Chain A
Amino acid sequence: MRSLSTLASLACSLALLAYPRAFRARFGREMRADFHRALCEGRGPGTPTALTVLRAAARLASTGLAEHGSALRRWPLFPNHPPHLYHPHGRRAMFWETLRSDIGHALALARKRPAVTGLAVLALALGIGANSAIFTVVNGVLLQPLPYRQATDLVMVWSSNTREQKPVNVVSPANFLDYRDGVTDLADLEAFASFIVSEQLQTDEGPERVLMVNAGPRVFDILGRAALVGRTFAAGDTDVVVLSHGYWQRRFGGDAGILGRALIIGDRPRTVIGVMPDDFVFPYATMLGPDGFTTRTGVDLWLPWVPEGDPFANRGGQIVRNVHYLAIVGRLKPGVTREALESRLAGVAGQLAQAYPSSNDGWGAVVVPLHEQAVGQVRPALLLLLAGVGVVLLMACVNVAGLALAQSVGRQRELAVRAALGAGRGRLLRLLITESVLLALAGAAVALLVVQWGVRALIVLAPSTIPRLAEVEPDTSVLAVTMAVAVVSGIGIGLVPAFTASRPDLRDALQDGGRGAAGGSPVGRRLRAGLVVGEVALAVMLCAGTFLLLRSFTALLTVNPGFSPEGLLTMQVELPDRLTTAEARLAYYDELFERLRALPGVVAAGGTTRLPLGSTSVSTTIDVEGRPRPDAELPEVQFRRAVDDYFRAMQMPVVRGRSFTREDGPASPPVAVVNEAMAARLFPGENPLGRRVRTGPNPSRNQWTTIVGVVGDVRHTGLEQVPAPEMYIPHRQGPPVAPFLVVRTTGNPAELVERLRADARAFDRALALFDVRTMLDVRSASVAPRRFVLLLVSVFGGLALLLAGVGVYGVMALVVGERTREMGVRLALGAEPRAVLWMVLGQAARLAAIGIALGVAAAWLLSPLLASQLFEVRPADPVTFTAAPIVLLAAAALAAFIPARRAMRVDPLVALRVD
């Protein structure tokens, strides 16, 4: 009987082990007592036997296992069943109480270690803040809907001609009308001029330049925006104007009485009928066609456009079909897809090609979502920046995790005591995660304080070619993302030390507090080394990216633009309106250039209608004598006028033939100079000199022009763009009204600006002079988007390098601290201090080498994603993939040098006296 009781007690103990620990702690004693009593009272027939005891124990154990399941189900986050799960107070109260106590504990810990805490918060604030700032820009530019009603239904329609390599091209007026009428059941289409024009507005204080766009009357309805004051265009409106909010405020002080006022724009009075709201922007620069007349964005006014009233579109009562200059915006009808509209338009375009082969053969139509059109171009660059800044945050987290790991090594004893008092692994995990989330939230709070400032700085730095920058503003989604990033970072950071710390070796830690603090488990050290390897790998990736962009940028700046940008001053002028005839303008130009050349230091002056790198482009079709082709198949060349001594002022070499002279006047036979690209394209293997060409959409109406010279190619639209065929005509055979002037000086062109302005005022007050910039500034502005991306990625790369260095320093300092005694022994036994130094450096180099190998592999795989941002540099650039590892290795060595030197200087006596 006695043996049976022992068996029962043993079996019961074993069975109870099947229960969750907390359950056992709460009910175990009673269960044990009940188990025994039930056996003694001998339920069932006969006296208890060993078999019935075992059977009862097995039943008890199986119930215990079931309890595990239900505990798991009720609280899946903490599978080890904290004691409060079975506490009468219920677990909800316990949850908050635990949280409160954890937070209190974390705050007390932070107060005890202000430096470490401050460093961690700072690192996280930097990482999170940089992310929030970049995300704010991405949010404002890419994610927020355009300021139109149901902007997802809006599209743009372009014509396309794959044969002439014009996948996206502006549309001719007659084609627009046919497109519009062919798809009325699928979409509402309306046209607007694909360029912003500048006109003179007559005010009481004299003429003033305004920027405006001609838009079809339905444009505002299609965009779904009404006027803030007054109304937008209605059918049949002609001499009316709608003001932008900005211009209304600036020019008229927001005067509500502006409605009905007549403004004299150009030479015609137009009645103000409305003012658009503040947030209304149309068009974004990216919505204009490839051949706009200005690179400016932001419009002061909108004028109604109707093909019948447009002298460009309407020639002798015919709406023209072969002059392309319109952009089309449209709203899809409900349920209609972009593809459906595109396939219908393809049908319409096909019919037009059959009906009008001379102008429409080869032309199709493409439909682009408006959002894609507006911001699609900047998406890769912005996403690249977001990825870069994400890597920086990841590295900041890794660093803070490293710090936390170092701390948790020191806290081994505290955690061991907690574990000994019954805290499960989950409980410790929760404590550590609460601490790191608190850290991250503090970082986020600091970040939010500066994010506003950071976004301002980004907007100032960003090139104005990024659309929608004005709409960028931190909002609630930025706040939400910041908080989410902080919480995720905090959890990630907390998980790392929890890995090792939540299962501390109790006996070890409790036995010898000193060792716990100085030593740290091998697992922790290995984990820390792993973190550093990861950091180095991430830094290699960012550095490689930075190098690739940097090499692209320098390659771009060394591109010869075809002219000499140094010592050049550029400006745009607008001749006074009183000069209505060509003769008057020519006389004016002669006098103007006389004065320009008389300025001190000026060696040559000239002008053109399209400034390279600083303006858009315009083209013409060309008909070569002796090569009759249908009008629609005429080749296209870029078309400019050369004013006065343009080629010499730009230092564009005359390769063959001659430049223009004074003799190429209005009465002489028309002449032209072409660039090498045009000579090569149109006259391959032939002498272009003396050949005759005619220009324009209807060349037969124009005179033959003789090619008299060939000049060097110029990079016009951008340094990375291959020069296109270009043709110049002399200004004496067609004087422009608003050319760009270029003035070559021997000195610094910027110093000439004031003198030049004063001289221009003295010459003629009515001469409008604007956009005075040195050519170097113009070139610099043309690469601004690349510079912006490069600048930010470099900053990220630098931060990554710094963080990796700090990481290497941290782990090596730890290693040296741990091995102080060993170093002392080595030195005492006669080791060279230098050897100790190299030993530490070598260890750091091994860590760095693993990280570098991983980073190079990752960068190799990821670098093709950068391709859109590269110029004349392959993603697998050998220079980059040599330089980035070297830089990282150097940074790691530098970071390891400080602890290594400390190791070298260990005093054997002191080191051996540690215990």
Chain B
Amino acid sequence: MDRFRAESFIPLTPLAFDILLALAEGEQHGYRILQDVNARSGNAAPLHAGTLYRALARLLEQALIEELAERPAEDDERRRYYQLTERGIAVARAEARRLAAQIATAEARHLLRAPA
């Protein structure tokens, strides 16, 4: 296995980061991720299933997320559940730091105003 460097995944696409954020709360199935992302964006640009699963496929391939071998006991729907991997957590942290630094800069340069 080649050496893992979180920086090599940075910057993430907004959608990929959104999915990682959704999974940061714990394992989720696909539709819950969809709902979570749409809720946080205020349904501004609603995500649909095709886009979501394409992004999930990429993240699976990059091993930033993984599929749970077992489903939570209370779940009776035949759904697959996804969770962050160690790599995924590291990459999400790195991306968050990058964005935080940008936000800090934006504040310092008075681009962010407190909502009136």
Docked-complex contact A27 and B56, CB < 8 angstroms: yes
With a cutoff of 8 Å between Cβ atoms, the chain A residues found around residue B30 in the complex are 27, 30-31, 34
Shortest CB-to-CB span from B4 to chain A, Å, is 13
Name the interface residues of B35-58: CB closer than 8 Å to any CB of A. 38, 43, 46, 48-54, 56-57
Q: Is the CB of A59 within 8 A of B50?
A: yes
**Of the candidates A27, A44, A59, A91, which one forms a contact with B53 in the assembled complex, judged by CB atoms under 8 Å apart?**
A27
* Residue pair B31, A37 in contact (C-beta under 8 Å): yes
Whether B60 contacts A43 by the Cβ 8 Å rule is: no
Instruction: Check A63–B61 contact: CB distance below 8 A.
Output: no
Interface residues of A: mostly helix, strand, loop or mixed? Answer: helix
Q: B-facing mask of A90-114, CB < 8 A → 1, else 0? A: 1100000000000000000000000
- A88-B60, A90-B63 given as contacts; is B48 within 8 A of A33 (CB)? no
Query: Number of residue pairs across A and B with beta carbons under 8 Å?
Result: 67
Q: How far is the CB of A34 from chain B (nearest CB, A)?
A: 4
Chain A residues with CB below 8 A from B110, complex form: none
Question: B98 at interface (Cβ–Cβ under 8 A)?
Answer: no
> Quick check: A38 and B60 within 8 Å, CB to CB?
no
Give the shortest distance, in Å, between B35 (CB) and chain A (any CB).
9
Given contacts A88-B67, A90-B61, contact A38 B54 (CB under 8 A): no
B49 contacts A60, CB within 8 Å?
yes
Name which of B38, B43, B60, B66 has the most chain A CB atoms within 10 A of its CB.
Answer: B60
Cα A726 to Cα B83 with chains together (Å): 98
Say how far A231's CB is from chain B's closest CB, in angstroms: 55
The residues of A that contact B93 with a CB separation of less than 8 Å are none
Contact of B109 with A by CB under 8 A: no
In the complex, the chain A residue whose C-beta lies closest to that of B65 is: A88
Interface SS of chain B: helix
A66 within 8 Å of B by Cβ? yes
- Chain B residue total in the interface (Cβ 8 A): 25
Contacts of B78 in A (CB 8 A): 29
A31 interface neighbour in B29, B46, B50, B63, Cβ under 8 Å: B50
Query: Closest residue to A28 on the B side, CB-wise?
Result: B53
Minimum C-beta distance from B110 to chain A (A): 37
Question: Which of A34, A62, A67, A86 sits near B34, CB closer than 8 Å?
Answer: A34
- Let me know if B80 is at the binding interface, CB within 8 A: yes
**Of all chain B residues, which has the CB nearest A33?**
B31
Closest residue of chain A to B46 (Cβ to Cβ) is A43
Q: Does A56 contact B (CB under 8 A)?
A: yes
- Residues of chain B from 60 to 83 with CB closer than 8 A to chain A in the complex: 60-61, 63, 66-67, 77-80
Output the least CB separation between A748 and chain B (Å). 77
CA distance A556 to B43 in the complex (A): 93
Chain A residues with CB under 8 A of B31? 30, 33-34, 37
Q: How far is the CA of A564 from the CA of B99 in the complex (A)?
A: 100
In the docked arrangement, what's the CA distance between A29 and B34, Å? 15
Report whether B53 and A30 are in contact in the complex, using a CB–CB cutoff of 8 Å: yes
Chain A residues in the interface with B (C-beta under 8 A)? 15, 19, 23, 26-27, 29-31, 33-35, 37-38, 43-44, 56, 59-64, 66-67, 70, 86, 88, 90-91
Give me 8 A-to-B residue pairs in the complex whose CB atoms sit less than 8 angstroms apart, sorted by A's number: A27-B56, A31-B53, A38-B34, A43-B38, A44-B46, A63-B54, A67-B54, A86-B61
Top-8 shortest CB links A-B:
A63-B50, A34-B49, A27-B53, A60-B50, A31-B49, A34-B31, A30-B30, A86-B57
Write the residues of chain B forming the contact surface with A, with a CB cutoff of 8 angstroms: 29-31, 34, 38, 43, 46, 48-54, 56-57, 60-61, 63, 66-67, 77-80
